[in-house]
Amino acid sequence: MERRKFIQNVSLGSVAAGLTGMGTLKAAQTDSLPADQTFNLDYAPHFGMFKHHAGDDLLDQITFMHEKGFRSLEDNGMMGRTPEMQEKIGNHLAKLGMTMGVFVLNKGGNGANTLAAGKQEHVDIFLDGCRKAVEVAKRVNAKWTTVVPGDFQRNLPLDIQTANVIEALRKGAEILEPHGLTMVLEPLSDTPNLFLRYSPQTYMICKGVNSPSCKILYDIYHQQKNEGHLITLMDMCWEEIAYIQIGDNPGRKEPGTGEINYQNVFKFIYEKGFKGICGMEHGNANPGKEGEADVIAAYRKADNFL
């Protein structure tokens, strides 16, 4: 799946991009930003996004994020880290007063394990992932975990598939809810084989599951590709949206590198009173320290909507 390769490809994609003429100046400017200069929304970088400034050590990267005004972190691959590292990350976030964003629930549904099929062995794999996600969440004090139900089951009517997904997710919610952990369902644009692709479809499923532990992860990049009408559809689905992710289109890089008017989108999110996390699930358009400075500058610009 494209998601599994995302973090690995961020660095490779950045190296392939070109330098910007003002990069060195921006790097110097971002190095001088005070720690208390935060943002209007709660943006969450991921590991690797600022490694040229902070180095390879994960805790140092978190410290750098905090110094630049970010107050949350997201890490798709958290479940693949050792329990010892998970605890170190959780403790460091707590020390800095930062919030842990989403991590991907492993075995949450994929091409070989689709919840739409209604097969017990697939559901059992998913529920085992839910139990393991609870333990990870405890170590890092996480409240959200990303779930993708997997691919279509082409030999079944669509409504039957939807019912199968809802039933499986209800069972997962029963595991997560007592621990305050919410699975956020993410409609994706990676391939048309995916069952979950649209925000109204995800809204309907959340209503069917009817649990505070099953909500929408609205990824702006994916939904710009799948359906457009970002502000209109976000507004329609708003009461089920618990988490937001960012990426401009085309390219899946920082705001300002594509066609989305992020300043308007962020203003809408802010005026809706959103207090949750906006995860920075994208690559850097340009490589090295200059590219990392560009990312911070892009968020300062897009966040300047008041």
Task: Give which of 4, 2, 26 is closest to 285, Cα–Cα.
Answer: 26
Preceding omega of 212 cis (within 30 degrees of 0)? no
Across residues 1-21, what is the average pLDDT? 43
Mean pLDDT of all residues belonging to the chain: 91
Domain enclosing residue 238, as ranges = 2-12+54-302
What is residue 54's predicted lDDT score, i.e. its pLDDT? 98
CA angle 168, 242, 207 (to 5 degrees): 45
Whole-structure pTM value: 0.89
| Backbone dihedral angles phi then psi of residue 198, each to the nearest 5 degrees | -125, 150
Total structural domains in the chain? 1
b/e 250-285 (16+ beta carbons within 10 angstroms → b): ebbbbbbbbebebeebbbbbeeeebebbbbbbbbbb
- Residues found in the chain: 306
Judge whether 128 lies within some domain.
yes
Asked if 201 and 116 count as a contact pair (C-beta separation under 8 A), the reply is: no
Give percent of the chain above pLDDT 90. Answer: 85
Task: Give which of 63, 109, 81, 77 is closest to 7, Cα–Cα.
Answer: 77
Judge whether 21 lies within some domain.
no
Judge whether 49 lies within some domain.
no
What are the tens digits of pLDDT across the range 126-137?
999 999 999 999
- The span from the CA of 158 to the CA of 174, in Å, is 25
* DSSP H or E run through 206: helix 199-209
Q: For residue 30, with 0-12 CB atoms within 10 Å meaning exposed, 13-18 middle and 19 or more buried, which class applies?
A: buried
Q: Check which CATH number belongs to the domain holding 212 and give it.
A: 3.20.20.150
What is residue 107's predicted lDDT score, i.e. its pLDDT? 80
Asked if 199 and 223 count as a contact pair (C-beta separation under 8 A), the reply is: yes
Place of tokens 């976000």: 234
Judge whether 41 lies within some domain.
no
What are the tens digits of pLDDT across the range 137-155?
999 999 999 999 999 999 9
Judge whether 292 lies within some domain.
yes
DSSP codes of every residue in 214-236: EEEEEEHHHHHHHT--HHHHHHH
Judge whether 252 lies within some domain.
yes
What is residue 108's predicted lDDT score, i.e. its pLDDT? 74
Asked if 153 and 114 count as a contact pair (C-beta separation under 8 A), the reply is: yes
Beta-strand ranges (E) seen in 58-197 are 72-73, 99-100, 103-104, 144-147, 182-185
What are the tens digits of pLDDT across the range 145-184?
999 999 999 999 999 999 999 999 999 999 999 999 999 9
Judge whether 282 lies within some domain.
yes
Confidence of residue 113 (pLDDT cuts 50, 70, 90): confident
Judge whether 180 lies within some domain.
yes
Question: 73 - beta bridge partners?
Answer: 100
